[in-house]
Amino acid sequence: MSYSLPENEDDRLETLRRLHIYGTSPERKFDQITDATSSALGTKYAAVNLIFADRQWTKAACGIDMEEAPREDSFCARAVASGDMLVIEDLSADEEFSENLFVTEPPHLRFYAGAPLIVEGAALGTLCVFDEEPRSLTKADRELPEDLAGTTAELLEARLQNYQVRYLRAVLEQVDEPVSIVGSDPDNLTDMEVTWVNLSYAMSAPEGETPVGKSPWIFRELEEGSQARSEVQSALRESCRLRGETRTTRPASRSRSGGESRLGNGGDSPNGKSQVPPRRPGEMPHVVAWLLAPVRDEKGQVTHWVTVHRDITDQKIREEELEHKATRDPLTGSRAHPFAANRECRRSAMDACVEQCIFRR
């Protein structure tokens, strides 16, 4: 091996692995960047090269048909090792590259300039230009590839996040409970913006509402100044998971299949409307249990948030019934004194209620 390695080589290769980009087809956005760089600087060739463990792989190229080359023959490998822009005005006079195959054989390169692509703190490759004639770059000339290298790095970072989200969606689509993905990392509740929902969530959203682009409805119904709302705000600021409950006067879900709801709310009518009516005044409101959890990348940084919710109204009703039977006199209905002599009788009644709830068919 005749090339230097950057200090963060292991992390750099891990980031490349997570990109899942090696061997992928050409993409217009990368092609446009190489075309623009070559045209602006007046060079014959330009490329987006990524440096893997033992090879250089070309994602996009202008003016030349390139796929990959050994890392030891790569000019870009030196730029990656330094992490800075590399300019070689005459390759034939450079001690390291004067005998390089790209210099001694066609296309007989003489000039090279490469700006590193920094993603997650590591140089993954370069946006580079090269030519068959020696030349130099002015300060203004150097700024262009550096700026476009930043744009290229942003495309790679977006690819990292998109791959993670695609995988996350594939998993969450199989979940029966309503699930949403909130994009980026909002600082507070009002900044939350849903970017994807599964089918169950779409069916649980307020009638006629398109969930994507809005904050999760289960949080919009939290009262201003309430403790629950404050806890959500704190969880977002501190990037920690949180469980809670929201009370609402309407059903929290509708079944996917049209049969009995998985969430205890009954089924759907043939026209797709929920058969469970909104709660009337005086009735117990629907109670929705929810989970808010951050999604972190392999560096531990929060990239998205996930919400999951489930209607637990029936469970709450059973708990109230159980509490009533355990604490009320069965004959008068009045609250029994906690130190009454029939405590054991009430305990037996409570045990019977628990058994009934657990084994109810």
Residue 319: both structure tokens together: 């708990």
Residues with Cβ within 8 Å of 14's Cβ and at least 6 positions away in sequence, in order, are 298
Asked if omega into 70 is within 30° of 0 (cis), the reply is no
pLDDT at 200: 87
pLDDT at 77: 96
- Locus of tokens 């398109």: 210
- Residue 316 pLDDT level (bands cut at 50, 70, 90): confident
pLDDT at 124: 98
What is the rounded distance in angstroms from the CA atom of residue 107 to the CA atom of residue 126? Answer: 20
| Percentage of the chain lying above the pLDDT 70 cut | 80
pLDDT at 82: 94
Per-residue pLDDT of 7-57, as tens digits, reads 999 999 999 998 999 999 999 999 999 999 999 999 999 999 999 999 999
pLDDT at 348: 53
pLDDT at 356: 52
Neighbours of 278 (CB within 10 A): 12
40-54, 66-80, 94-108, 209-223: range with lowest mean pLDDT: 209-223
- Locus of tokens 């699930």: 179
Mean pLDDT of all residues belonging to the chain: 82
pLDDT at 336: 61
Mean pLDDT for the stretch of residues 337-351: 50
Mean pLDDT for the stretch of residues 87-116: 96
DSSP tag of 291 = E
Residues with Cβ within 8 Å of 129's Cβ and at least 6 positions away in sequence, in order, are 37, 38, 41, 43, 45, 46, 111, 112, 113, 114, 145
Per-residue pLDDT of 131-168, as tens digits, reads 999 999 999 999 999 999 999 999 999 888 788 778 88
Residues with Cβ within 8 Å of 340's Cβ and at least 6 positions away in sequence, in order, are 346
Q: Are 127 and 115 in contact (CB under 8 A)?
A: yes
96-100, 185-189, 280-284: range with lowest mean pLDDT: 280-284
**Comparison of pLDDT for 349 and 162, the residue scoring more:** 162
Model confidence, pTM: 0.59
Instruction: Strands of the chain (E only): list them.
Output: 45-51, 55-62, 68-70, 86-88, 111-119, 122-131, 179-183, 194-197, 242-248, 286-296, 302-311
Q: Sign of dihedral through CA atoms 16, 17, 21, 24?
A: positive
pLDDT at 272: 33
- Residue 246 pLDDT level (bands cut at 50, 70, 90): confident
pLDDT at 267: 33
Residues with Cβ within 8 Å of 94's Cβ and at least 6 positions away in sequence, in order, are 88
pLDDT at 256: 38
- Residue 67 pLDDT level (bands cut at 50, 70, 90): very high
Q: Over 50: is that where the pLDDT of 269 sits? A: no
**Comparison of pLDDT for 76 and 361, the residue scoring more:** 76
pLDDT at 133: 96
Neighbours of 227 (CB within 10 A): 10
Mean pLDDT for the stretch of residues 107-112: 97
pLDDT at 284: 58
SS3 170: helix
Per-residue pLDDT of 184-213, as tens digits, reads 767 777 788 898 899 888 887 777 788 888
